[in-house]
């Protein structure tokens, strides 16, 4: 241990500056920390939702590498972006979500700003609501929702409430419960909807169900905030995954929308995202844009270039875009295959439980239905790391370890 | 087709951020001799942005390295970046670093570092969630300082005496007086070097006096260090004040930016250096920093941090970088010398010693708002209403025109 200058210590004020408690470890990222420390060669990290290939390795998309080479050759400067970000990116970002021919984009009555991935987008949205939303302070989240939604909106100054969503008895959508709760939400409250591949359950409403939700939300005059972190990743088809968002806009909802390119382009660490507000008209969009800039500037001034440049190059270069669509499709397909293999594996183990939900659920995550004590056993006895709510990231499952996983799950549930 | 009256119909149009509006106006101006002395970004003598040669080199290494991917960084950022950044600020031989009580939080530029630091102080300093703690910023200061602390929740943001317009220098008496009379535990935002916008820094004796009062009166030291290396050309010289305060035993924050000294403006590379009382405090502080980061941007962007980290951690690249920084600093010093010489040559009324006494990117010319208006409207020389000019906007080709313009502004406009 380094020598310490006692004289300095005696003269120094004891730290009374910060009466700081130790912050609890992040429930999701804490899983990865524990996984790292485990020496079991068979260990599996099914915690964080980052895609892995069938060898369990991170996957850098070819379209990303190609885009990086193109960008590198251009030898661009590093001048500050505007507060709202790279214009080519925000245009592509909005078009991807809404569809190129969307009336909203043609009329110019929406504003999209580049954000620090999905988290940054949600936070800007929360800050914007906190400052300008005249309605109730409450944001209604589906029960359950992504763990970080609650602290994000709370830190933004909003309050959190919930509507029923997941039915543990079916491991599916509690449609009746959702409608029941939504019908009681006070007017002008904010309701958060996961556009596709619900996190953490993987349970999405069917189109007919979305239609009823839209009607009810309209009737209750609620402000819709879509979180779309998995466009393309859920079904493998970007238009299909954006269906709910586009339907709601068609139905007249002026929505707020958060987008992330972390998963569907594998650009996790580059922090690429967008925040969109669909407004009543062009004038309102301009006013909203000016206020978003006022919110963004005192957080980070302007967003990072690298990831946005990669994303916009891919989206606006036809052969890169086609390649991207193929690769997204490939990632989604591998996950679907793993779901099927996991269920087959469980059946082979002799499990008598109904595991259909593993196949019915969609996207990166699967709500296994495991109880906390079963999860604990799975971790302690089999070194399978997952969050306590029974959520597993299917992306961490490979053809090499799916059998082991089936074995472990069967062992703790038989 | 939109639903009932838009929820955001009452959102007012926000004024544009002044410095960006200035650049926008400059871009629209078609005058052949127009000059932009607004935004604080380095320009070559051809008035072009400059991507540092060492940055180009390192970027190529990164693009060609197939072993690198785009995975999430840890919440607090790239570890090698954080430690190298704090070392640059505190020095290779820093006792505080050896004592294991220095930590870093990778942030989005200097702005991001300030904001994370401000959020932490509002939650944990001088009580829990004490929004009433006074925050002092220099008069004048970078205009975003006010917004950063206000949006972090502080209700009482006050100016401390700094710029003496009459003598065109530091109002040290007023500054020391404010330190003596500020409520104990107040937070003071100090510019580590190259004060923005005045370019006027305390000398070493003055810093010692400032430190003495701050220690005696339990005032919190929050350094903003956006120009290390850029001011004098020497990293160590520019960090003298920070290192002095650390050696005096202060627990303090340093918001570091690598936007200017690495020319990485749009990659958003910054670091909040925390100097704590001891390792145990540091650990608790960083755990709470993680919670703040998680709801703001989850984890920081990787590209810029990789570039800086590779450079700082490799002796050859580090030496090359220091050379690049000196190139920039030297050109600014040359422009200062030449501008002063030309104004003296023209016999422009007033003394112009402050042009060479001031340091860093900016100079507070002393031009009043009417004279500034004249400069912009009649001469198409764009500068901030405060009279601040960016020395980097001066080149051997436009310096005569600018000197002549200043001469006319001072002689024709009162």
Task: Write the CATH number for A51.
Answer: 3.90.1150.10
One domain for residues A292 and A240: yes
Q: Span B362-390, mean pLDDT? A: 95
Residue at A122 is within a domain = yes
In angstroms, the CA B75 to CA B258 distance is 19
Q: How many CA atoms lie within 13 A of B264 on its CB side?
A: 31
- Residue A7's pLDDT is 38
Which residue range is the domain that position A209 belongs to? 63-320
Chain B residues whose beta carbon lies within 8 Å of the beta carbon of residue A68: 63
One domain for residues A144 and A108: yes
**Pick among B266, B291, B293, B303 to test the A interface (most A CBs inside 10 A):** B266
Residue at A20 is within a domain = no
**A115 to chain B: closest CA residue:** B297
Six token digits for residue B410: 């001072």
**A116 to chain B: closest CA residue:** B297
In angstroms, the CA A367 to CA A202 distance is 7
Q: Give the nearest partner residue to A306 out of B4, B72, B267, using CB atoms.
A: B267
Q: Give the nearest partner residue to B13 out of A15, A123, A287, using CB atoms.
A: A287
CA distance from start to end of chain A: 51
- Let me know: does B286 contact B272? Beta carbons within 8 Å: no
One domain for residues A367 and A400: yes
Residue at A82 is within a domain = yes
- Let me know: does A401 contact A393? Beta carbons within 8 Å: no
Residue at A7 is within a domain = no
CA distance A267 to chain B (A): 6
DSSP for residue A19: -
Active site residue A263: yes
Q: Choose one of A295, A320, A345: the last residue of a domain.
A: A320
pLDDT band per the 50, 70, 90 thresholds, residue B359 = very high
* Geometric angle at alpha carbon B238, from B92 and A300, rounded to 5°: 95
Residue B78 has pLDDT above 60, yes or no: yes
Instruction: Inspect the interface and report whether the beta carbons of A300 and B109 lie closer than 8 Å.
Output: yes
Instruction: Inspect the interface and report whether the beta carbons of A269 and B144 lie closer than 8 Å.
Output: no
- Residue B10's pLDDT is 81
Q: What pLDDT, in 10s, does the model give residues A288-304?
A: 999 999 999 999 999 99
Distances (CA, A) of A108 to A104, A278, A313, A413, B348: 6, 9, 23, 54, 51
Q: Give the nearest partner residue to B11 out of A156, A223, A287, using CB atoms.
A: A287
**Pick among A301, A307, A308, A396 to test the B interface (most B CBs inside 10 A):** A301
Chain B residues whose beta carbon lies within 8 Å of the beta carbon of residue A280: 2, 6, 8-9
Pairs across A and B, CB distance < 8 A: 253
Six token digits for residue A261: 């390119």
Residue at A19 is within a domain = no
Q: Does A220 touch chain B (CB under 8 A)?
A: no
Mean pLDDT of chain B: 95
Instruction: Inspect the interface and report whether the beta carbons of A280 and B10 lie closer than 8 Å.
Output: no
CA distance A204 to chain B (A): 25
Per-residue confidence of chain A (414 residues) as pLDDT tens digits? 444 444 343 333 345 556 677 777 777 777 888 898 999 999 999 987 899 999 999 999 999 999 999 999 999 999 999 999 999 999 999 999 999 999 999 999 999 999 999 999 999 999 999 999 999 999 999 999 999 999 999 999 999 999 999 999 999 999 999 999 999 999 999 999 999 999 999 999 999 999 999 999 999 999 999 999 999 999 999 999 999 999 999 999 999 999 999 999 999 999 999 999 999 999 999 999 999 999 999 999 999 999 999 999 999 999 999 999 999 999 999 999 999 999 999 999 999 999 999 999 999 999 999 999 999 999 999 999 998 999 999 999 999 999 999 999 999 999
CA distance A93 to chain B (A): 19
Q: Which residues of A120-148 are buried (b: 16+ CB within 10 A; e: fewer)?
A: bbbbbbbbbbbebbeebebbbbbbbbbbb
One domain for residues A155 and A71: yes
- Residue B162's pLDDT is 98
One domain for residues A85 and A221: yes
Among candidate residues A161, A227, A241, A355, the one labeled active-site is A227
Q: Where in chain B is the domain with CATH 3.40.640.10?
A: 60-317
Instruction: Inspect the interface and report whether the beta carbons of A29 and B75 lie closer than 8 Å.
Output: yes
Instruction: Inspect the interface and report whether the beta carbons of B11 and A284 lie closer than 8 Å.
Output: yes
Instruction: Inspect the interface and report whether the beta carbons of A120 and B296 lie closer than 8 Å.
Output: yes
Instruction: Inspect the interface and report whether the beta carbons of A221 and B3 lie closer than 8 Å.
Output: yes
Q: Give the nearest partner residue to B291 out of A23, A120, A300, using CB atoms.
A: A23
**A190 to chain B: closest CA residue:** B7
Instruction: Inspect the interface and report whether the beta carbons of A2 and B59 lie closer than 8 Å.
Output: no
CATH code at position A258: 3.40.640.10
Residue B248 has pLDDT above 90, yes or no: yes
In angstroms, the CA A249 to CA A243 distance is 10
Instruction: Inspect the interface and report whether the beta carbons of B72 and A48 lie closer than 8 Å.
Output: yes
One domain for residues A76 and A53: no
Q: Give the nearest partner residue to A306 out of B41, B296, B301, using CB atoms.
A: B301
Residue B3 has pLDDT above 60, yes or no: no
Which pTM was predicted? Answer: 0.95
CA distance A169 to chain B (A): 32
- Let me know: does A195 contact A231? Beta carbons within 8 Å: yes
Any idea how long chain A is?
414
Instruction: Inspect the interface and report whether the beta carbons of A298 and B9 lie closer than 8 Å.
Output: no
One domain for residues A68 and A215: yes
- Let me know: does B95 contact A287? Beta carbons within 8 Å: no
Q: What pLDDT, in 10s, does the model give residues B300-311?
A: 999 999 999 999
In angstroms, the CA A311 to CA A326 distance is 15
Residue at A16 is within a domain = no
β-strand pairing of B270-275 with B102-107: antiparallel
Six token digits for residue B247: 């050696």
**Listed residue (B273, B338, B313, B350) closest to B107, CA to CA:** B273
Instruction: Inspect the interface and report whether the beta carbons of B41 and A79 lie closer than 8 Å.
Output: yes
- Let me know: does B280 contact B287? Beta carbons within 8 Å: no
Domain B18-50+329-412: top CATH class: alpha beta
- Residue B5's pLDDT is 56
Count of the separate structural domains present in chain A: 2
One domain for residues A170 and A51: no
Residue A210 three-state SS: helix
DSSP for residue A26: P
**Pick among B9, B70, B100, B275 to test the A interface (most A CBs inside 10 A):** B70
Catalytic residues of B: 142, 224, 260
In angstroms, the CA A377 to CA A409 distance is 9
Active site residue A146: yes
Q: Choose one of A258, A286, A320: the last residue of a domain.
A: A320
Residue at A87 is within a domain = yes
Q: Give the nearest partner residue to B297 out of A26, A218, A271, using CB atoms.
A: A271
One domain for residues A200 and A251: yes
Q: What sign does the CA torsion over B381, B139, B159, B235 have?
A: positive
Contacts of A103 (CB under 8 A, 6+ apart): none
One domain for residues A297 and A345: no
Domain B60-317 coded CATH 3.40.50.11740: no
Q: Where in chain B is the domain with CATH 3.90.1150.10?
A: 18-50+329-412
- DSSP states along B316-371: HHHHHHHHHHHHHHHHHHHHHHHHHHHHHHHT-SS--HHHHHS-SSEEE----HHH
One domain for residues A33 and A164: no
**Pick among B4, B6, B8 to test the A interface (most A CBs inside 10 A):** B8
**Pick among A132, A149, A221, A298 to test the B interface (most B CBs inside 10 A):** A298
- Residue A3's pLDDT is 46
Q: Does A17 touch chain B (CB under 8 A)?
A: yes
Q: Does A356 touch chain B (CB under 8 A)?
A: no
Residue at A299 is within a domain = yes
Q: Give the nearest partner residue to B63 out of A2, A72, A78, using CB atoms.
A: A72
One domain for residues A186 and A296: yes
């Amino acid at each position: 241990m380094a020598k310490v200058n006692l004289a300095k210590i005696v003269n120094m004020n004891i730290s009374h500056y910060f009466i700081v408690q130790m912050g609890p470890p992040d429930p999701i990222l804490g899983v990865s920390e524990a996984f790292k420390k485990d020496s079991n060669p068979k260990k599996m990290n099914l915690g964080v939702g980052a895609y892995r290939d069938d060898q369990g390795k991170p996957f850098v998309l070819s379209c990303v590498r190609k885009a990086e080479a193109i960008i590198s050759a251009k030898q661009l400067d590093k001048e500050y972006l505007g507060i709202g970000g790279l214009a080519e990116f925000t245009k592509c970002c909005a078009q991807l979500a809404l569809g190129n021919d969307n009336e909203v984009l043609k009329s110019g009555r929406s504003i999209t700003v580049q954000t620090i991935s999905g988290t940054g987008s949600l936070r800007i949205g929360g800050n914007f609501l906190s400052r300008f939303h005249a309605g109730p302070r409450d944001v209604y989240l589906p029960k359950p929702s992504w763990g970080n939604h609650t602290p994000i909106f709370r830190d933004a100054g909003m309050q959190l409430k919930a509507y029923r969503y997941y039915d543990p008895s079916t491991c599916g959508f509690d449609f009746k419960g959702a409608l029941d709760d939504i019908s009681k939400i006070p007017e002008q409250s904010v309701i958060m909807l996961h556009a596709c591949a619900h996190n953490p359950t993987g349970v999405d409403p069917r189109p007919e169900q979305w239609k009823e939700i839209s009607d009810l939300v309209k009737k209750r005059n609620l402000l819709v905030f879509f979180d779309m972190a998995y466009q393309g990743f859920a079904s493998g088809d970007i238009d299909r995954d954006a269906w709910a968002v586009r339907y709601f806009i068609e139905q007249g909802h002026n929505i707020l929308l958060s987008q992330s390119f972390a998963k569907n382009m594998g650009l996790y660490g580059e922090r690429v995202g967008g925040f969109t507000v669909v407004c009543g008209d062009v004038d309102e969009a301009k006013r909203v844009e000016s206020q978003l800039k006022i919110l963004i500037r005192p957080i980070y001034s302007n967003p990072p270039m690298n990831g946005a440049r990669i994303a916009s190059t891919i989206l606006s270069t036809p052969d890169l875009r086609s390649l991207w669509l193929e690769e997204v499709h490939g990632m989604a397909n591998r996950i679907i295959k793993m779901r099927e293999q996991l269920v087959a594996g469980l059946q082979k183990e002799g499990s008598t439980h109904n595991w259909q939900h593993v196949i019915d659920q969609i996207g990166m995550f699967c709500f296994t239905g495991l109880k906390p004590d079963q999860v604990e056993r799975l971790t302690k006895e089999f070194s399978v790391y997952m969050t306590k709510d029974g959520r597993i990231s299917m992306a961490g499952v490979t053809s090499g370890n799916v059998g082991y996983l089936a074995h472990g799950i069967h062992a703790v549930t038989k | 087709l939109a639903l009932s009256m838009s929820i955001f119909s009452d959102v007012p149009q926000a004024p544009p951020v002044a410095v960006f509006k200035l650049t926008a106006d400059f871009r629209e101006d078609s005058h052949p001799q127009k000059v932009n002395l607004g935004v604080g970004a380095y320009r070559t003598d051809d008035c072009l942005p400059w991507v540092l040669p060492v940055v180009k080199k390192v970027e190529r290494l990164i693009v060609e390295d197939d072993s690198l991917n785009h995975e999430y960084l840890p919440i607090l950022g790239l570890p090698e970046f954080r430690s190298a950044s704090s070392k640059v600020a505190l020095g290779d031989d820093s006792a505080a670093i050896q004592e294991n009580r220095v930590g870093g939080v990778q942030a989005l530029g200097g702005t991001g570092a300030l904001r994370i630091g401000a959020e932490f102080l509002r939650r944990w300093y001088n009580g829990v969630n004490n929004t009433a703690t006074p925050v002092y910023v220099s008069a004048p200061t970078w205009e975003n300082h006010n917004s950063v602390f206000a949006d972090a929740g502080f209700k009482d943001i006050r100016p401390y005496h700094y710029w003496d317009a009459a003598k065109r220098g530091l109002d040290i008496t007023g500054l020391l007086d404010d330190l003596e009379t500020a409520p104990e535990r107040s937070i003071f935002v100090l510019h580590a070097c190259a004060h923005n916008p005045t370019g006027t820094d305390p000398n070493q004796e003055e810093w010692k006096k400032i430190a003495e009062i701050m220690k005696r009166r339990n005032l919190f030291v929050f350094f903003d260090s956006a120009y290390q290396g850029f001011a004098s050309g020497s990293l160590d010289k520019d960090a003298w004040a920070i290192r002095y305060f650390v050696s005096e035993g202060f627990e303090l924050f340093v918001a570091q930016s690598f936007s200017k000294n690495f020319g990485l403006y749009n990659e958003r590379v910054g670091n909040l250096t925390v100097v704590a009382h001891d390792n145990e405090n540091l650990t608790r502080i960083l755990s709470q920093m993680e919670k703040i980061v998680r709801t703001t941007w989850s984890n920081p962007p990787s590209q810029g941090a990789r570039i800086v980290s590779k450079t700082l951690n490799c002796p050859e690249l580090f030496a090359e970088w220091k050379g690049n920084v000196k190139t920039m600093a030297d050109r600014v010093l040359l422009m200062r010398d030449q501008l002063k010489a030309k104004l003296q040559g023209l016999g422009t009324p007033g003394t112009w010693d402050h042009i060479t006494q001031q340091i860093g990117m900016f100079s507070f010319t002393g031009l009043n708002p009417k004279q500034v208006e004249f400069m912009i409207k009649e001469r198409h020389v764009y500068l901030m209403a405060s009279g601040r000019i960016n020395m980097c906007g001066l080149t051997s080709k436009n310096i005569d025109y600018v000197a002549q313009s200043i001469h006319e502004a001072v002689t024709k406009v009162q």
